[in-house]
């Protein structure tokens, strides 16, 4: 029995420790939408706003209250009031018996009785016995007219719910941007690691050549030490690249809230998205939020205008009271209905000042919408220009890298012939590494700009277009036939 429990526990907890391998970008974005913690929190905010909108709508339908009261009192006012509401009050409760007794005595010539008949407080009225009181009451209040205030409050709450959905979309865009960038960063660093592996293999070959030449007396100890120093430097860069790759996977796992151990290879050059001014203004989330904000400002302006209009409400109440719960309910029932009109005529000019403030705020937000449109359009054009500039830079670095590799190979052959020093060979090898780093940096910068542009135009294109082999690898394979180079 004990081992069965252990086995069941292991089966239950197994998914918690599972990891994802060969993850595609399409699948990663699906996981992101479902599992990212920031998106989950934002969706909770959406739900909160949706319930707030429902609550605001509910004010239009009025309010029904059911009240049940149970009391006991010997207070004269309370007891008399209880009897009146229970329809049990009699003339005896007013002291009629004492009045009639004094009246008879007064008729018999008792002058004190004549005085008590008018001046002595009746005992039954002022010192009654304690009485129970139970009341059941249902009341309904309904706003008939508020100058449009309730309608605008409802519209504002619904608009804030829509705003929360825009906020979620903006977070999603940001997380998609980060996910795409993580995929491309991993792809680039993996290419960098493969390139460093080739460079280390080339240095190992060079080290072997120098060692053999030293044995034959054609090279010096300093030549071998210089090669070994360069090898140590390359190995250090290789280790750092591996650590950066691990860090990128950890960040991707954090975004997806899932453990990711490997991804499908990506094209290292993201495609340029197509857009125009109309698409940008229609899709951009910041512009949509600004437009919605302008509508909310108009609603707030209408609320300030409603302060100059009357408010009309209706009220209805049905109740029954007795000294015993639910006793003679229908015989003791009562109703009350009414209408109230409230109209603020003067409050020191506060409403007028608030109205002018709302008008100015509307004009300000209207200009902010125009500014958002122009600013987003300018940013999109700037990003597109920067991408085209990086395209030119990348093409230049590709040619430089091809040339640097051939020069390095040439200098290696010339070193064997004693035509150049080992320092010259290593300088050329450093140039190759320098150009490689510049190329990868330029591609990373370009991809970042592309993803920023996609987030700006809110373009949710299929990620499958990215899932192809690195073109830079195929280029390297086409430019050289020596796999050890």
Q: Are residues 230 and 90 in the same domain?
A: no
User: CB-based contacts of 21: which residues, under 8 Å, 6+ apart?
Assistant: 261, 262
35 domain residue, yes or no:
yes
324 domain residue, yes or no:
no
For tokens 């309910």, the residue is: 329
Q: Are residues 386 and 437 in the same domain?
A: yes
Q: Are residues 384 and 259 in the same domain?
A: yes
Q: Are residues 124 and 196 in the same domain?
A: no
Q: Are residues 160 and 125 in the same domain?
A: no
Q: Are residues 394 and 459 in the same domain?
A: yes
Provide the domain limits for residue 265. 20-60+149-292+354-479
Per-residue tens of pLDDT for the chain, all 485 residues: 544 544 444 444 444 446 788 899 999 999 999 999 999 999 999 999 999 999 999 999 999 999 999 998 888 888 888 878 888 777 777 777 777 877 777 877 777 777 777 777 887 777 788 888 888 899 999 999 999 999 999 999 999 999 999 999 999 999 999 999 999 999 889 989 998 998 898 888 888 888 888 777 777 888 888 888 988 988 999 999 999 999 999 999 999 999 999 998 777 788 888 888 888 888 999 999 999 999 999 999 999 999 999 999 999 999 888 877 877 777 888 899 999 999 998 888 999 999 999 999 999 999 999 999 999 999 999 999 999 999 999 999 999 999 999 998 898 888 888 788 888 888 888 888 899 999 999 999 999 999 999 989 886 554 444 443 444 333 443 333 333 33
Pairwise CA distance, residues 284 & 378, whole Å: 13
69 domain residue, yes or no:
no
Instruction: Tell me the longest C-alpha to C-alpha distance in the chain.
Output: 159
49 domain residue, yes or no:
yes
Q: Are residues 208 and 162 in the same domain?
A: yes
Q: Are residues 396 and 464 in the same domain?
A: yes
484 domain residue, yes or no:
no
CB atoms within 10 A of CB 110: 14
138 domain residue, yes or no:
no
Pairwise CA distance, residues 303 & 147, whole Å: 8
Exposure string of 32-56, with b = 16+ CB inside 10 Å and e = fewer, is beeebeebeebeeebeebbeebeeb
Q: Are residues 155 and 99 in the same domain?
A: no
- The number of folded domains in the chain is 2
Q: Are residues 85 and 33 in the same domain?
A: no
Q: Are residues 100 and 172 in the same domain?
A: no
Q: Are residues 406 and 456 in the same domain?
A: yes
Pairwise CA distance, residues 88 & 54, whole Å: 45
| CATH at residue 258 | 1.20.1600.10
Residue 118: predicted pLDDT: 75
Three-state helix/strand/coil letters over the chain: CHHHHHHHHHHHHHHHHCEECCECHHHHHHHHHHHCHHHHHHHHHHHHHHHHHHHHHHHHHCEEEEEEEEEEECCHHHHHHHHHHCCCCCHHHHCHHHHHHHHHHHHCCCHHHHHHHHHCCCHHHHCCCCEEEEEEEEEEEEEEECCCHHHHHHHHHHHHHHHHHHHHHHHHHHHHHHHHHHHHHHHHHHHHHHHHHHHHHHHHHHHHHHHHHHHCCCCCHHHHHHHHHHHHHHHHHHHHHHHHHHHHHHHHHHHHCCEECCECCCCCCCCCCCCCHHHHHHHCHHHHHHHHHHHHHHHHHHHHHHCCCCEEEEEEEEEEEECCCCCCCCCCEEEEEEEEEECCCCCCCHHHHHHHHHHHHHHHHHHHHHHHHHHHHHHHHHHHHHHHHHHHHHHHHHHHHHHHHHHHHHHHHHHHCCCCCHHHHHHHHHHHHHHHHHHHHHHHHHHHHHHHHHHHCCCCCCHHHHCCCCHHHHHHHHHCCCCCC
9 domain residue, yes or no:
no
**Residues 465, 468, 471, 475, CA torsion sign:** negative
> Using only C-alpha atoms, what is the Rg of the chain?
43
319 domain residue, yes or no:
no
Residue 81: predicted pLDDT: 82
């Amino acid at each position: 029995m004990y081992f069965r429990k252990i086995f069941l526990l292991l089966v239950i907890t197994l998914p918690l420790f599972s990891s994802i391998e060969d993850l595609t970008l399409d699948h990663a974005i699906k996981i992101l939408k479902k599992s990212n913690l920031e998106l989950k929190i934002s969706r909770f905010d959406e739900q909160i706003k949706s319930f707030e909108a429902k609550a605001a709508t509910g004010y239009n339908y009025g309010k029904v209250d059911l009240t049940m009261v149970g009391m006991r009192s010997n207070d004269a006012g309370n007891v008399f009031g209880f009897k009146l509401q229970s329809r049990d009050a009699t003339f005896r409760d007013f002291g009629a018996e004492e009045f009639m007794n004094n009246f008879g005595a007064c008729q018999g010539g008792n002058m004190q009785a004549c005085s008590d008949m008018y001046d002595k407080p009746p005992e039954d009225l002022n010192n009654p016995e304690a009485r129970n009181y139970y009341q059941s009451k249902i009341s309904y209040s309904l706003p008939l007219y508020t100058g449009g205030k309730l309608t605008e409050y409802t519209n504002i709450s619904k608009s804030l719910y829509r705003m929360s959905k825009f906020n979620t979309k903006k977070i999603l865009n940001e997380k998609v941007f980060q996910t795409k960038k993580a995929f491309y960063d991993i792809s680039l660093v993996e290419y960098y690691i493969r390139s460093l592996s080739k460079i280390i293999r080339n240095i190992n070959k060079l080290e072997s050549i120098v060692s053999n030449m030293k044995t034959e007396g054609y090279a010096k100890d300093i030549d071998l030490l210089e090669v070994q120093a360069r090898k140590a430097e390359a190995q250090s860069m290789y280790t750092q690249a591996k650590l950066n790759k691990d860090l990128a996977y950890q960040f991707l796992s954090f975004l997806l809230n899932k453990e990711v151990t490997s991804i499908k290879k990506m094209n290292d050059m993201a495609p340029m998205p197509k857009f125009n001014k109309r698409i940008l203004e229609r899709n951009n989330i910041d512009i949509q939020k600004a437009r919605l904000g302008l509508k909310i400002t108009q609603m707030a302006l209408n609320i300030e205008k409603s302060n100059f209009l009357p408010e009309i409400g209706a009220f209805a109440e049905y109740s029954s009271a007795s000294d015993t719960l639910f006793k003679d309910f229908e015989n003791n029932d009562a109703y009350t209905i009414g209408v109230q009109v409230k109209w603020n005529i003067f409050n020191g000019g506060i409403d007028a000042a608030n109205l002018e403030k709302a008008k100015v705020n509307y004009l300000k937000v209207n200009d902010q919408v125009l500014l958002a449109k122009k600013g987003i359009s300018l940013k999109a054009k700037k990003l597109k220009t920067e991408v085209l500039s990086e395209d030119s830079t990348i093409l230049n670095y590709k040619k430089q890298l091809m040339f640097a590799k051939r020069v390095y190979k040439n200098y290696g052959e010339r070193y064997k012939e004693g035509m150049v020093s080992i320092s010259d060979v290593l300088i050329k090898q450093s140039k190759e590494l320098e150009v490689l780093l510049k190329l990868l940096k330029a591609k990373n910068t370009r991809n970042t700009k592309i993803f920023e542009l996609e987030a700006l135009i809110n373009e949710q294109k299929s990620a499958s277009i990215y899932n192809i082999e690195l073109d830079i690898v195929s280029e390297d394979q086409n430019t050289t036939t020596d796999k050890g180079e």
